[in-house]
Amino acid sequence: MSESPVASGQAAVDQLLEVLDLEHTGEMTFRGMSPPVGPQRVYGGQVAGQALVAAGRTVEPERFVHSLHGYFVRPGDPVEPIEYQVENVRDGRSFSVRRSVALQHDKPIFFMSASFQRQEEGLDHHAPAPAGVPGPDEVPTMTDRLSRYPERLGIWGQIPRPIDVRYIGEPGWVRPGDRPAEPNQRVWMRIDGKLPDDPLLHACALAYASDLTLLDSVLSVHGEVWGPGGVVGASLDHALWFHRSFRADEWFLYDCWSPSASGARGLATGRMFTTDGRHIATAMQEGLLRRVGA
């Protein structure tokens, strides 16, 4: 009997939309599920995206999320539903603040604060996007990359990929010795299909994507890789600021680097730019990083 084909493109995006479409179980409570096929623990970007969906659904739609700050407390079980409890911290004239807690077995696995703002005019500037970066059509696709590492197909070949990720340098999952030390980890990303026009949904999709490659930049400084012969890790916290309007289903450059690593922890930061150079978001994350067998 042949295996079912792995969802990709719009089919995988539709699965992601189902994951982000939480069940409303009470005035300020929601329930989310994980994809039927995935890693052994809940992907951090998923729980952050779902927590933002829960928070955003309790805010007036005229107010848009501009920042979130979250902590990963426990690994999530992908087989069990995730309950989200939202607290209305404040509704002011311009800003609304929510606290969203993800629970499994009555224990928090993630909690997040998010702030939403009504649209206003003000000062406007940003640092330029990095120069001389090849475009998304000039770098290998994920399929091209994976073809060099058939041992990775057992993992990646079974998981739907709703995000088109195109690395400019070597990914963190290559074999030990195949990755030169580089100061940055840069990738082009986009949701690999069409999203509805809801700005909250695009923000949640960006939050989902922002956790994919950020910690790679810590390893990149040392030419290190994930897995056997390298490093294992986990996200400890995650912060994301949204600066300008965007569509997550259009290409954006994720320019990541690591200002510090010590004490088995690494700090990573990343900026996201549209193809025309607009700075749309900034992310920061600290992760636990340990050598395999340590």
The domains of the chain, with CATH numbers, are: 9-119+137-291 (2.40.160.210)
Who has greater pLDDT, 175 or 89? 89
> Distances in Å between the alpha carbon of 55 and those of 29, 176, 199, 287?
9, 41, 14, 24
Q: Poorest-confidence range of 4-13, 56-65, 128-137?
A: 4-13
| Whether 69 contacts 107, CB under 8 Å | no
C-alpha gyration radius of the chain: 19
Q: Above 60 in pLDDT, residue 159?
A: yes
Provide, rounded to the nearest whole percent, the portion of the chain with pLDDT above 90: 85
pLDDT value, residue 293: 74
- Residues 74-88 have a mean pLDDT of 96
Active centre residues (catalytic): 211, 235, 285
**Average pLDDT score over the chain:** 93
The crossing angle, in degrees rounded to 10, of helices 44-56 and 199-210 is 160
> Distances in Å between the alpha carbon of 254 and those of 31, 149, 162, 169, 175?
30, 23, 17, 12, 23
With a threshold of 0.95, does the pTM exceed it?
no
Question: What type of residue is 86?
Answer: V
- Residues 97-126 have a mean pLDDT of 97
